[in-house]
Chains A and B, each alone.
Chain A
Amino acid sequence: MAENNGIKRRDFLKFLAVGSVAAGGLRLARWTSASQTGGSSPYKWAMVIDQEKCSGCGQCTLACRAHNDVSPDISWNQVIDAGQVGDKKSFLPRPCMHCEEAPCVNACMVGASYHRADGIVMMDYDKCIGCRYCEVACPYGARAFNWESFDGPNPAVPDWGSPEVERRPRGVVEKCSFCYQRIDRGLTMGLKPGIDEEATPACVVTCPMGARKFGDLNDPESEVSQLINNNPYFRLREDLGTSPRVYYLPPREEVTG
């Protein structure tokens, strides 16, 4: 055993040194990654959906598909039947909630789901490894996995236009992005998201009933701030503490009987 002691100490130190260098190297590799939670932004984007106005037509889903090149198997933006209120059918359009405390962002092991400074929960499709932990973690079912590759023309895309973002490959999880591409491009053009159509999410622009509003919660004059301040609203599963950035105005008809 005497001879072992000499070897042990020296080699143990070597072992440690190699280990820390390796760990440090991996750490460095992380800094090279572009997409990360953090930074600061003057904006805090939010969406308000008025259930009273929604007629369940599904235009939002269609516009979403066309602008984001979403496969027919997947829906970023479902319109869910929410039963009867009074004598009217009620609907609940459900995009990604862009939660302030997003379970998917914490769950994602590679940081492919991350928060932008303006609050949008983003997907880095080049990082995603397709483990689907985020799908398991999301309480809203807002995420969809690309089980198959989506080839060929998208039936939702009309002849006169083309999608604004790249199609996702097979094997990654995708979801609604609040049409970040429209917001970002609009801002560089000096437009105001929520007011100028060019800078507003496609589903908001297309809604024939005007049931969807989009805007900046940091701006007290914005339509979304005004709606939230002056109306009763709810968010989905507030009990979970996820703090969604999609607000709903409930149907306001009186329930008879």
Chain B
Amino acid sequence: MISIRRFKLQPLHFWIGFLLIVLAAGAVAYGIVLVKGLSVTNLSDVVPWGLWITIDLSAIALSAGAFTLCAVVYLLGLKQYEPVARTATFIGLIGYTMAMLTLLLDIGRPDRFWHALVYWNTHSLLWEVSMCLTLYLCVLALETAPIIGRTDWMQSRFPWIANKMTSIHHFAPILAIFGLGLSMLHQSSLGATYGVLQARPIWYKPGLSVMFMFSAIVGGPALTVLVTKVSGRLTPYAKVDDSLLDRITLFIGWGLVGYIYFRFWDAFSVSYTYEPGRSESLGMLTSGPLAFNFLVGEMLLGAIVPAILLLVPRFRKSWTAQIVALTLIVAGVVAFRWDVNMSGLLIILTYLPQEITAVYTTYFPSVIEIISGLGVIAYGALAITIGVRYLNLIDHPITRMERVEEPVPVAGTD
């Protein structure tokens, strides 16, 4: 970068510049939160979790491509997906660091984050989640080490460390087992974090754990394929084998069908009779303030439309349709997390014995919450961009492509 070569502005530089601006704004907001505390948010004692928890849950869900694809490659033995698993692992590492950054922001005493690891309450779902997050972050760091070890920069500067890092690759199957176990635990437990609480009736059901897991398995690979496909079009540094990715999108499409089925029963399997709290929360999703997000954002655009785009062969052949579908899936996963969190928190049940009634409340994130949240997202996007550009992150064997290429009709002049 700092060579004497003539510096030419490329679209990449604009993109990185844009991300840096958002990141800088986010960092300022982050600092404000740390200094002034959570009073700068619109959170309250009745809605204690809001935008940040949604970003946190979504980042974790969308990082699920890492464990899914690593399991496919190293446990199911489908070796041809190895290059995709590599990309997914890196995205996973970034996603989990995003989650950590958001969590740090969200807790009232960030200086005590380490308490979660030292003081154990084994009955707490959040304890289990934080242990899994920490351990899985270590697994992801180990899984990503060979990617960094293989870069020219590391090889030429620190060959000994680079070789050590690369040799971790031999442990990939073991790491995949740990990754699968830890991920299945905490992806589900994040749903159970909500699902075990009786205080918010809409949450109190076993289905939430299954739904969080299922949507992560669909959404994680979707983000991985989305990043890969977009990079393949935008930069020569990403070498993409579309036929490999198209098989994954087919899997995602069928996964979505299953997801729609489960989500339907998860959302609507309620009793005919009025149940305080639960009925109001459901009403919020179907006709209240969350209705557009749930019916249009989450169900129609987030699941049904992309399932059609990915499963009807005519659409699946189109690059644009695939990109649209994958983007919608990623947004749908975020919408699902938002709906779960909000449908429970925006209804408060009174506890007066004569009348257990539901009281409505509202929440909209404050400017500081939004900017700091965007900052975390910009960090993620920047890290992935740098990974694609400098870490050889997307490098599918192109021999496969050559097989697909049709012989070009030879023009007369040759």
Contacts and interface: CB of A to CB of B under 8 A. Distances in A.
Contact of A103 (B49, B106, B197): B197
A111 B123 CA distance: 9
Report which residue of B108, B113, B125 has the largest number of chain A beta carbons within 10 angstroms of its beta carbon. Answer: B108
Interface string A141-160: 10111111100000000000
A236 interface: yes
B170 A7 contact: yes
Given A82-B352, A141-B46, A110 B345 contact: no
A127 B116 CA distance: 9
B199 A138 contact: yes
Give the contact-size bracket for chain A. Answer: 35 or more
Interface string B122-143: 0111110110000000000000
Nearest to B277: A139
B286 to A, nearest CB: 23
Contact of A136 (B39, B48, B118): B48
B217 to A, nearest CB: 25
A147 B353 contact: no
Interface in A107-149: 107-112, 127-133, 135-141, 143-149
Given A92-B352, A171-B108, A136 B49 contact: yes
A216 B162 CA distance: 67
Contacts of A112: 119
Contacts of A146: 108
A15 interface: yes
B21 interface: no
Nearest to B169: A4
A145 B45 contact: yes
Interface string B197-240: 11110000000000000000000000000000000000000000
Interface stretch (A26-34, A38-46, A188-196): A26-34
A252 interface: no
Interface in A72-102: 80, 82-83, 92, 94
A4 B154 CA distance: 23
A29 B116 CA distance: 12
Interface in B93-151: 106-109, 112-113, 115-121, 123-127, 129-130
Given A30-B119, A127-B119, A148 B200 contact: no
B118 A109 contact: no
Contacts of A240: 198-199
A226 to B, nearest CB: 22
B25 interface: no
B174 interface: yes
A224 interface: no
Contacts of B112: 127-130
A205 to B, nearest CB: 25
Given A129-B108, A236-B353, A26 B118 contact: yes
B187 interface: no
B255 interface: no
A171 B119 CA distance: 18
A26 to B, nearest CB: 6
Nearest to B112: A129
Nearest to B127: A109
B261 interface: no
Interface string B333-364: 00000000000110011011111100000000
Contact of A108 (B44, B108, B121): B121
Contact of B37 (A128, A133, A149): A149
B116 A170 contact: no
Contacts of B193: 133
A20 to B, nearest CB: 13
Given A103-B198, A106-B124, A234-B353, A129 B115 contact: yes
A219 interface: no
B118 A30 contact: yes
Contacts of A33: 118-119
Given A7-B170, A15-B174, A131-B107, A110 B119 contact: yes
A184 interface: no
Contact of B199 (A110, A136, A171, A248): A136
B324 to A, nearest CB: 36
Nearest to B114: A129
B24 interface: no
A111 B126 CA distance: 11
A32 B174 CA distance: 33
Given A135-B45, A143-B45, A234-B353, A4 B170 contact: yes
The 6 closest A-B pairs by CB, nearest first: A130-B108, A171-B108, A132-B48, A109-B127, A109-B126, A139-B199
10 contacts: A11-B170, A108-B121, A109-B127, A110-B120, A129-B116, A132-B48, A135-B48, A136-B344, A139-B351, A144-B45
Interface of A: 4, 7-8, 11-12, 15, 26-27, 29-30, 33, 80, 82-83, 92, 94, 103, 105-112, 127-133, 135-141, 143-149, 169-173, 234, 236-237, 240-241, 248, 250
Given A26-B118, A130-B107, 6 more contacts: A92-B352, A106-B124, A107-B126, A111-B121, A129-B112, A132-B49
